[in-house]
Structure 1
Amino acid sequence: MPEMRFHIRWPDGRPEACYSPSLVIKDYFAPGETYALADFLARSRTALMIASNRVEAKYGMPCSRALGQLARIEAAAGLYAETPDPRVRIDAFDE
């Protein structure tokens, strides 16, 4: 199963490299695009759950790294709850 990293930039400009065990991320994000925080969270949840489910279908257990990445994204997003119009940019994909 091909894994990848997707590089994001949080609303305060802080970069982060995120992990996915599947290329499904490419179906939900595009490099160079900026997403409203709520949209970014929804897309991340959907894509990382699909990725984890693919791992489970192949190996019999969900992907703890994908679920952990989702938890980190959700925790970090909470830091911007009071930010007016918070947006997350997708900088790049690494395969």
Structure 2
Amino acid sequence: MPEVHFTIRWPDGEEERCYSPSTAIKRYVAPGETYPLGEFLTRARDGLNAASERVAAKYGFACTSAMAELAHIEARAKPFLGREGASVACLAVDE
């Protein structure tokens, strides 16, 4: 199962490389797209859960790395919640 890294830019301008255990994330985030923060969190949550489910279907257990990445993304987003106009840009998606 090919892992995928996706690079995002947070509302404060910081760029971060994130991990997904499968290409399922590509259905949820796309390079060149900018998402309002709430929408990005929903997409990250849905995409990383889908990726973890693909791992579970293949290997019989969920991917703890995907869940750790999601927890990190959600924690990193907290300071921006409620900030009007806060958005996250997806800069790249690499296999």
Alignment of 1:71-82 (within 5 A): 71-82=71-82
Q: Which residue of structure 2 aligns with residue 23 of structure 1?
A: 23
Find the counterpart in structure 2 of residue 7 from structure 1: 7
CA displacement at 1:30 relative to structure 2: 1.3
SS at match of 1:29: coil
Task: Report the aligned-residue RMSD.
Answer: 0.8
User: Partner of 2:46 in structure 1?
Assistant: 46
Contact 2:7–2:18 (Cα < 8 Å) also in 1: yes
What is the aligned partner in structure 1 of residue 56 from structure 2? 56
Q: Is the 8 A contact 2:37 2:81 kept in 1?
A: no
Distance in 1, Cα, partners of 2:48 & 2:81: 22
Given the two structures, how large is their TM-score scaled by the length of structure 2?
Answer: 0.96
State the one-letter code of the partner of 2:4: M
Structure 2 residues not aligned, in runs of 5+: none
Q: 2: CA distance between counterparts of 1:54 and 1:84?
A: 35
TM-score (norm 1): 0.96
User: Percent of aligned positions with the same letter in both sequences?
Assistant: 54
